Structure 1
Amino acid sequence: MDDPSLDFNTPGREIAVAAEALYLANLMIVPGIAFVALLVLWFRERERAPDLARNHLRQTLAASLWAGALLVIANAAIILAGGYDSPHTWIIVILYFTTCHSTLIFCGAIGLAKALAGKPFRFPLIGPTA
């Protein structure tokens, strides 16, 4: 059953998929390394990339920066709540992972699905507008 709205030959689809995959890898598998790879991809392709790729590159870079900021905020909250030896640490860690981190991964999975389908995507709340 073919969906006529899906376009697997959209220019920039490969770059969009790579950007979304690197975003998810940064959150789950190889944090930092995948972010550097995403930055390299963004610097290399941001000017010449087709619209679809540019959209996904901007979204994933912005979401990665937000993810880093949220991680810094969570660590600051842990320190302010008594440090890493405090029982409050686990409350903050569990809240961070069940709300922030899982939401970022969920949105990244949707973004990857959209990129695979050759469609643009905007991260809710944190994604830059077109």
Structure 2
Amino acid sequence: MDDDSELDFDIPGRATAVAAEALYLANLMLIPGLGFLALLVLWWRERERAPELARGHLRQTLAASLWAGVLLVAANAAIILLGGYDSAYTWIVVVLYFTTCHATLIFCGAIGLSRALAGKPFRFPLIGPR
């Protein structure tokens, strides 16, 4: 292998960037709410002293988590406006939300995690701050 294809594990901020992306994915898939609180604590502790790579991933994952919450509230509002949880439209909204919004957020989080593992920056499309 040549030197360009090897990962550099000594990149400043890499571990914090990986932790931020992992907590973002944990919030979406494994431990909703608790993963967000852990991400918020990590952001609060590291937001000023972390290297640029880590600050970028922290900023992106926090913004994406907030957008995920907004989209979840919007999906619930759509269900209520379309007749409540007993309506036939409920499953339409749920399936559309999970196949478009939630799956896209997870896909972007997986890409962000792979970029963090490689020690590279990542910006979430559309919802990520610059």
- Report the TM range for the smaller structure's normalisation: over 0.9
User: Structure 2 counterpart of 1:85, which letter?
Assistant: D
Match of 1:42 in 2: 43
Query: What's 1:77 paired with?
Result: 78
Shift of 1:30: 0.2
Question: Which residue is 1:25 aligned to?
Answer: 26
The aligned counterpart of 1:59 is 60
Q: Deviations over 1:16-64 (max 9, x none)?
A: 0000000000000000001000000000000000000000000000000
Query: Which residue identity does 1:102 align to in structure 2?
Result: A
- In the alignment, residue 58 of structure 2 is paired with which amino acid? L
C-alpha distance after superposition, 1:77-120 (max 9, x if no partner)? 00000000000000000000000000000000000000000000
Q: Give aligned-pair identity as a percent.
A: 81
Runs (4+) off by over 6 Å: none
Q: Which runs of 5+ in 1 are unaligned?
A: none
For these two proteins, the number of residue pairs brought into alignment is 129
Could you tell me which runs of 5 or more consecutive residues in structure 2 were left unpaired when the two chains were aligned.
Answer: none
Q: TM-score, normalised by structure 2?
A: 0.96
| 1:68 pairs with 2:69 | yes
